[in-house]
Structure 1
Amino acid sequence: MSIEPTQPAPTLSWTQDGAEHTAAWFSASGASAPKNVQVVDDALTADDAYRLAAQGTSMLWQGDYHNARQLLSAMARRLPTFSRNDGEDVAKAFYRYRQGRTQRARMLGQLLVPLEEGPAVDLRRAPDVSGAWLAAAGAVETPTVVPLQDVLGAVGAYEWRRNGLFVQELDATMYPHYGTFAPIRSEYLALVAQAPLPSNELAFDIGTGTGVLAAILAQRGLKHVVATDSEPRAIACAQENLELLGLAGIVEPLLTNMFPEGKAPLVVCNPPWLPGTANTLLDNAVYDPKSRMLKAFLTGLAGHLDPGGEGWLIISDLAEHLGLRSREDLLAWIEKAGLTVIDKLDTPARHPRSMDSSDPFFDARSREITSLWRLGTKA
C-alpha cells in the first residue's frame, strides 16, 4: 500500500531588524501565504495602510490589538462604495458588486496578526480568543500568522455559537458552528414545516448544515432522517444540535458528498441559492459555483427516490431577478433529470434587505420568492 506524502504546512517569511523570520501561515479562506510582508505598528496611518494593501503588501502588526482593529475599520471606510450605473444590466451590476466584495476581502486580509500557543493573539491588550480560535481552526502548535479578519470572524462566530439562534419552527434554539450557515431566513423553514409529507418512514436531508431541516422533519414525525454534508464541521454542528434537541436517535448525520446509499420516499435539499464563486466559508451556503450542487441534486434525485416518492427542492428565485439563472434553465434541468413538478409552495421574502430601498439590488430583492418544489419521477 502506498502512502501519499504529507504536504508541508504553508509558511510566511519576513525581515525585521536585519534578520529573517518565519512562521506558520493560516487563512480561513485558503489564501496563499503572502510573499511581500512589512512589519508595522501603531505608528502606521490608515492612509499608508490602505496604500500598502492596494500595492499587495501585507502588514504584520506588532502594536496594540485594539489599534489594529481600529486601523482595519479605517481601511474599510476608505474602500469605494458600490453604486449602480444608470441603465446598467442587473447581472453585470451584480458581477461588479461581487468583484468589489472580493477586492474588499483581499485588501482587508492584508492586515496580519501573530498567534502563539494557547491559542492567543501575541499583541498588547489582546482579548482571550482561545475558545473562539479552537472552535474555528483548532490548536496552534507553533507561532502562526493569520489575517486579523479571521480572528474577528472566529470571535463573532463563537458568540453566535454560545448565544444560539431561536428557531420558531422548532420552538427551540440552534447553535451554529464557525463556517456553518445560521438559519436566519425563517420563510424557507416554514415551507418545510408545512409541506405535506409523502411518508413518515424515512427522509434524506442533503447538505444539512446545522441540521435544522432534519430537525424539523424529525419533529414532524419522521421515524428516521439521514442528514448528509460534505463538511466535517457541519456534521459536528448538526450532531451537537440534534443531541440538544433530543433527536439524535432519529436523525443520523453522515459525512458524505450529496446522497447517502439507497432510496427514500422523501429527499430534501436546500442548495446555495445564487450561482457564483464562494470567497469565504459562509459564502459556501449562499453561492453555488456554476449551480453545481443544484444540478447534482436534480441529476441524482431520481436514483434515490422510492416509487411515488418526492424530492423537495427549497430555493429562492433571487438568481432569476438578478439575471444569473432563468426559470427556463431550472425547468430544463428538472426535465433533463427525468423529474416532474408535482406542486410548488411559495412564500415572499421577509428578510431586512428585501425591505431596504437603499440596497442597490432592492428591486430584485423586493420581488424575491422562496419556493419548495415538490418533485417526482416521470411515470
Structure 2
Amino acid sequence: MIEWSERGETRRALWRSESGAPAPRRVQPVDDTVAADTAYRLACEGTALLWRGDFQNARQLLQALMRRADRKSAKAEARAVQKMAEASPAERFHLHRQAQAQRARTLGALLIPVEGDYSIALRRAPDWRAACTEAWGPASGEASVVALRELLGVVGAHEWRKKGVEVPALGGRIHPHYGVFSPVRGEYIDLVAQAPLPGTGLAFDIGTGTGVLAAVLARRGVRRVVATELAPRALACAQDNLRRLGLQDRVELLAADLFPPGRAPLVVCNPPWLPARPSSAIEQAVYDEGSRMLKGFLAGLREHLEPGGEGWLVLSDLAEHLGLRSRDDLLGWIAAAGLRVLERLDTRPRHGKAQDAGDPLHAARAAEVTSLWRLGAAA
C-alpha cells in the first residue's frame, strides 16, 4: 500500500509496480502549478509526486523531467569519460545499468491515481481501462497509484498487442502481451527457421515466451511441439499467438521450469543472454542472474534427448564482449553436461544499437554475434 497526507487526512491506496519497487515513503500531492525544476529536485531527493492536476499537463511534466534527467546524464557522462575509459567492459556495463536505474527512479516519481474500475479521475484523462485490464487483470474495485511512466508502458503494450510484430519466418505476426518480451530481434528467429532439422516428429521449446520459436518449428513441419514456460503472462501470450496462427493443435503448452517429461529428437532453448539481475518481469527475458537458465538447460539436456537427437542453444555472445561470461565458461558447461558441439550457426544482429556509436556499450554491441549451437550427446 502507498500512504500520504492530503488536506489534513491520511490516505491509502494499492501501490502498483511492475518491478516490485517498494511504495515511496515520501509522497507530495502536486498539480499544474508545480514548476518543472521544483518537481525534478523533489524527484531526485526521493519524494514521489502524486498528480492532482490536468492529465495532459502531467504528460508534459514527465517530458520536462526526462529532458532534465538526460541533461544531467550527459554532464555525468562527460565527467565520467576518463573513468569509463579506464573501466573494464564489465564495469562499464554495471555503470551503465546504474545510470539507467537512477534515471528510472527519478522519472518514476510522478504518480497517477487510478480508480477501482481503472478509470482516471483527472481532467482530460483518457479512457485506458482496456489496457489496464489486459495488464493487471479484472478491476477489483480498489483504488491504486502507479507511476505515470509505467502507466504509459501499459498503454504502449496494449497497442503493440493489437498491432503485433511481423515475423517473416512465420509469414505472420506475433502479438506480445504486457510483461512478455517482444521478438523484435529477428536474427535469432531466422537461425531457428534455417537450421537443418534432425527430425519432424517431436520437439521441445524451453521457455517459449511469446511462443514464436514453437510456432516456427510447427510451421517448418514438426508435427508436435511441447513448449514450456513458467510465467503465467507468457503462457497466456503464447496460447493467444498459437490460436491466431492456427497452430494450437500442433503445439502443447506446459507450465514447467525448463523441461517437460520425456525425450525428444530436438530440444530448443533461447535463454536470456546476459548474466545479471533483472529489475522487472519483462527483464527476465534479457537477464539471467548467475546464468541459471543457461546452466540448467545444458545440465538437463542430455537426459531429455533421444538417441542421435540435438539440442539447439540460441545465444548471443554479448555477455562475452562485456566480460560477464567467457567462451571458456560456456564450453566448460557444455562439456560438463556430457555434450558436444555438432555445429555453430552464426549471424550478426540487425538492431539499431549495434550501429549507434553513442551507446555506452557500443564496442561490445558492434562485435556481437548471435549463434545457434547444435549440441549432441558426447560419446
Range of TM-score over shorter length: over 0.9
Deviation sequence 1:175-231 (CA, Å, 0-9, x none): 111111111111111110011111111111011111000000001110110111111
- After TM superposition, the structure 1 = structure 2 runs for residues 90-129 of structure 1, keeping only pairs within 5 Å, are 90-129=89-128
1:30 match: 20
Shift of 1:65: 0.9
Q: Please, what TM-score do these two structures have when normalized by structure 2?
A: 0.95
Give the superposed CA RMSD. 1.2
Q: What is the letter of the counterpart of residue 368 of structure 2? A: E
- Tell me the SS of whatever aligns to 1:375: strand
Deviations 1:296-320 (A, max 9, x none): 1111111211111111000111111
Q: Distance in 2 between matches of 1:150 and 1:360?
A: 25
Once the two structures are aligned, what percentage of the paired residues are identical? Answer: 56
CA contact (8 A) 1:175 1:241 kept: yes
Q: Identify which range, 84-93 or 173-182, moves more after superposition.
A: 84-93
1:270-309 correspondence runs (5 A): 270-309=270-309
Q: Indicate conservation of the 8 Å contact 1:119/1:139, yes or no.
A: no
- Matches of 1:349 and 1:67 in 2, distance apart? 39
Secondary structure at 1:120 match in 2: coil
Aligned to 2:54: 64
CA offsets, 1:325-364, max 9 Å, x none? 1111111111111111111000111111111222222221
**How far, CA to CA, are the matches of 2:108 and 2:18 in structure 1?**
10
| Aligned-pair CA distance for 1:105 | 1.5
Residues 357-376 of structure 1, C-alpha deviations (whole Å, 9 max, x = no match): 22222221111110000111
Match of 1:169 in 2: 169
1:163-242 paired onto structure 2 within 5 Å: 163-242=163-242
Query: CA–CA distance in 1 between the matches of 2:265 and 2:34?
Result: 62
Which residue identity is paired with 1:132? A
Q: Which residue of structure 2 aligns with residue 54 of structure 1? A: 44
Distance 1:302 1:121 in 2: 53
Of stretches 29-38 and 152-161 in structure 1, the one that deviates more from structure 2 is: 29-38
Report the Cα offset of residue 42 of structure 1.
1.0
Aligned residue number for residue 339 of structure 1: 339
Alignment of 1:259-270 (within 5 A): 259-270=259-270
1:86, CA displacement in angstroms?
2.8
* Alpha-carbon distance in structure 1 between the residues aligned to 2:281 and 2:91: 24
Distance (whole Å) between structure 2 residues aligned to residue 199 and residue 130 of structure 1: 46
Query: 3-state SS of the aligned residue for 1:121?
Result: coil
SS at match of 1:72: helix
Summarize deviations over 1:37-72 as a string: whole Å, max 9, x none.
Answer: 111111112211121122211111111111111111
Q: Does 1:148 align with 2:148?
A: yes
**Unmatched tracts of structure 1, length 5 or more:** 1-10
| Residue equivalent to 1:158 | 158
Contact 2:92 2:360 in 1 (8 A): no
- For 1:247 and 1:196, locate their aligned partners in 2 and report how far apart those are by CA, in whole Å: 21
1:88 is the counterpart of 2:87: yes
Structure 1 residue 18 and structure 2 residue 17: aligned? Answer: no
Decide which moves more: 29-38 or 266-275: 29-38
Alpha-carbon distance in 1 for matches of 2:184, 2:210:
11
Task: Determine if contact 1:264/1:304 at 8 Å carries over to the other structure.
Answer: yes
Distance 2:193 2:165 in 1: 18
Structure 1 stretch 349-358 or stretch 247-256: which is displaced more?
349-358
Helix, strand or coil for the counterpart of 1:39? strand
Q: Is the 8 A contact 2:274 2:319 kept in 1?
A: yes
**SS of equivalent to 2:334:** helix
Aligned to 1:275, what secondary structure does the other structure show? coil
Residue pair 1:117, 1:139 contacting (<8 A) in 2 also: no
TM-score (norm 1): 0.95
Q: Choose between structure 1 and 2: higher helix proportion.
A: 2
Q: Is 2:250 aligned against 1:246?
A: no
Q: Distance in 1 between matches of 2:36 and 2:322?
A: 35
- The whole-number CA distance in structure 1 between the counterparts of 2:120 and 2:272 is 34
The residue aligned with 2:352 is 352
2:33 to 43, 58, 61: 43
- SS of residue in 2 equivalent to 1:53: helix
Q: For residue 148 of structure 1, report the CA deviation from its aligned partner.
A: 1.1
- 1:112 aligned partner, one-letter code: L
Contact in 2 for aligned 1:278/1:288 (Cα 8 Å): yes
Equivalent residues of 2:169, 2:193 under 8 A apart: yes
- The separation in 2 between residues aligned to 1:255 and 1:125, in whole angstroms, is 42
